[in-house]
């Protein structure tokens, strides 16, 4: 029996007829947290928060058990732990998430070349060309969910619809670990009961403006004259929302455009002026960014450093290298030079960041060896560190300056 015959069509049971619905929106469920739970299965079913503990840390991801307490992404960690004091907090491992994301996107591209990543954990797919080979859209959606779970140990939710906008709402509708089809002839029935905030482009300010007009649902918006919306929200925004309220979204799935940059930043628990401590954080961030570059198969030529003072004013400095790199040692050397040239040594710093731009594929990218570097040198050593981190955890192998004395940990 073929794979196509083995996969049931749960989407039809959940939503209805998938005829004319070639657009899929696939969204990983609590992505960072789900990746961590693969290695910590004893925490399954418990509240888990991914983020850096401390008064200035923020939540990057949370399991649905933690979300029931009101915890959500971008929330200050202190507030999250007040809401859910029994949550387990796990520091993020960005290199690991990038590697899993790359594997999941590969699954999508084996289904169809028409894949548009939106973030590391979600993408739109146009499966029009895959129907003859794999079956109707709901069957393909079920196949994707099956493969992501089997090959990567995490779950995803899939919305199936006739447009990107409706497919994204459908995937949100069936979270977590679900599949939902919005039939082409029932788009308006699906949209109109939803709160107006469900529409793309409706933030808090727009929602307040619409509330003054008595518009609280998408149906209310659809029944409001376009001229009124344009007058209240502006010509472009008013017309855009009027179209969405009737499910009209003509945007096509645009295949992957390469990442423009990869970076990481850290807010200190207390403002820091000590250059030694700041350079140590620059090293930590350089290691993190380099690991993410290698996990994504990238190398980059432009290195930038972000320095935010205690008064929240921010300084950014960058340098373009002679050749691309994905080596933390090289990123760190440039970052330290940029910090030294910033004139902020000895100044209280609240946040530091390291970013690499002008990305290109690492394989085949020309590299200029330094006079003191052997042909098999730091890059190979750092790749070995990547393998150790995947097997034993991200802190298994660290530069000596990042290993704190035992008394600092206690």
Alpha helices, DSSP H only, in 40-174? Answer: 64-67, 77-83, 94-111, 131-134, 137-152, 164-173
Distance (Å, whole) CA 348 – CA 346: 7
For the chain, which ranges sit under pLDDT 50? 1-14, 369-376, 405-410
Verify that 172 and 273 share a domain, yes or no. Answer: no
C-alpha of 178 from chain center = 20
Residue 43 lies in a domain: yes
Query: Could you tell me the residue range of the domain that residue 170 belongs to?
Result: 1-183
pLDDT at 44: 95
pLDDT at 13: 39
Buried/exposed 52-68: b ≥16 CB within 10 Å, e otherwise: beeebbbbbbbbbbbbe
CB-based burial of residue 365 (10 Å sphere; 0-12 exposed, 13-18 middle, 19+ buried)?
middle
Verify that 323 and 382 share a domain, yes or no. Answer: yes
Q: Out of 137, 163, 183, pick the residue that ends a domain.
A: 183
pLDDT at 1: 32
Verify that 175 and 199 share a domain, yes or no. Answer: no
Q: Out of 133, 159, 183, pick the residue that ends a domain.
A: 183
Verify that 119 and 152 share a domain, yes or no. Answer: yes
Residue 126 lies in a domain: yes
Give the residue among 95, 148, 117 at the shortest CA–CA distance from 298: 95
Question: How far from 407 is each of 286, 403, 404, CA to CA, in Å?
Answer: 25, 11, 8
Residue 250 lies in a domain: no
The CATH number of residue 202's host domain is: 1.10.150.20
pLDDT at 383: 61
Pairing between β-strand 88-90 and β-strand 261-272 as defined by DSSP bridges:
unpaired
The CATH number of residue 320's host domain is: 3.30.1490.100
Distance (Å, whole) CA 165 – CA 155: 22
408 belongs to the catalytic site: no
Verify that 98 and 224 share a domain, yes or no. Answer: no
Residue 37 lies in a domain: yes
Q: Which H or E run includes 352?
A: strand 349-361
Verify that 101 and 140 share a domain, yes or no. Answer: yes
Verify that 237 and 335 share a domain, yes or no. Answer: no
Q: What is the pLDDT of residues 248-300, one digit of tens each?
A: 998 999 986 666 789 998 888 889 999 999 999 999 999 999 988 988 888 99
Both tokens assigned to 333:
């050397």
Catalytic residue (choose from 65, 122, 287, 382): 122
Verify that 44 and 154 share a domain, yes or no. Answer: yes
Give the residue among 396, 386, 131, 361 at the shortest CA–CA distance from 259: 361
pLDDT at 152: 94
Residue 253 lies in a domain: no
Distance (Å, whole) CA 15 – CA 328: 48
User: Which string of DSSP letters, residue by residue, matches 228-273?
Assistant: HHHHHH-HHHHHHHHHHHTT---PPP------SEEEEEEEEEEEE-
**DSSP reduced 3-state for 47:** coil
Verify that 400 and 274 share a domain, yes or no. Answer: yes
Verify that 344 and 226 share a domain, yes or no. Answer: no
Residue 339 lies in a domain: yes
Cβ atoms 222, 192 nearer than 8 A: yes
Distance (Å, whole) CA 371 – CA 7: 57
Binding-site residues for Mg(2+) sit at 27, 121
Verify that 238 and 267 share a domain, yes or no. Answer: no
Tokens 């198969």, residue located: 297
The CATH number of residue 33's host domain is: 3.30.70.270
Verify that 200 and 151 share a domain, yes or no. Answer: no
Residue 343 lies in a domain: yes
Residue 323 lies in a domain: yes
Q: What is the pLDDT of residues 373-394, one digit of tens each?
A: 444 456 666 666 656 555 555 5
Q: Out of 136, 156, 183, pick the residue that ends a domain.
A: 183
pLDDT at 393: 53
> How many domains does the chain fold into?
3
């Amino acid at each position: 029996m073929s794979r196509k015959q083995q996969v049931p069509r749960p989407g039809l049971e959940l939503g209805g007829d998938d005829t004319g619905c070639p657009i899929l929106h696939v969204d990983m469920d609590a992505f960072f947290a789900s990746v961590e739970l693969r290695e910590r299965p004893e925490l399954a079913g418990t509240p888990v928060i991914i983020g850096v503990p401390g008064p200035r840390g923020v939540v990057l991801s949370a399991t649905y058990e933690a979300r029931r307490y009101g915890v959500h992404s971008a929330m200050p960690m202190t507030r999250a732990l007040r809401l859910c004091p029994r949550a387990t907090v796990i520091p993020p491992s960005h290199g690991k998430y990038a590697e899993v994301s790359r594997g999941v996107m590969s699954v999508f591209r084996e289904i169809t070349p028409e894949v548009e990543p939106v973030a590391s954990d979600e993408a739109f797919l146009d499966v029009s060309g895959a129907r003859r080979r794999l079956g109707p859209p709901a069957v393909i959606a079920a196949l994707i969910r099956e493969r992501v779970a089997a090959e990567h140990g995490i779950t995803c939710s899939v919305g199936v619809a006739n447009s990107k906008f409706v497919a994204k709402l459908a995937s949100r509708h069936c979270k977590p670990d679900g599949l939902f089809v919005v039939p082409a002839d029932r788009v308006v029935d699906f949209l109109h009961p939803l709160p107006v905030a469900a529409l793309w482009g409706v933030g808090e300010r727009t929602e307040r403006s619409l509330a003054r007009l008595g518009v609280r649902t998408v149906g209310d918006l659809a029944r409001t004259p376009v001229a009124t919306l344009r007058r209240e929200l502006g010509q472009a925004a008013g017309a855009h929302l009027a179209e969405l309220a009737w499910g009209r979204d003509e945007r096509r799935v645009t295949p992957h455009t390469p990442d423009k940059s990869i970076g990481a930043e850290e807010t200190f628990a207390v403002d820091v002026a000590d250059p030694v401590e700041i350079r140590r954080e620059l090293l930590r961030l350089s290691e993190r960014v380099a690991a993410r570059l290698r996990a994504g198969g990238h190398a980059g030529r432009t290195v930038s450093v972000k320095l935010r003072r205690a008064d929240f004013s921010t300084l950014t400095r960058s340098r373009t290298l002679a050749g691309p790199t994905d080596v933390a040692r090289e990123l760190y050397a440039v970052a330290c030079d940029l910090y030294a040239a910033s004139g902020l040594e000895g100044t209280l710093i609240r946040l530091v960041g390291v970013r690499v731009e002008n990305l290109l594929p690492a394989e085949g990218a020309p590299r200029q060896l330094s006079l003191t570097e052997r042909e098999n040198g730091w890059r190979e050593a750092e790749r070995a560190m990547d393998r150790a981190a995947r097997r034993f955890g991200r802190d298994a192998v660290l530069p000596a300056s990042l290993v704190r004395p035992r008394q600092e940990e206690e």
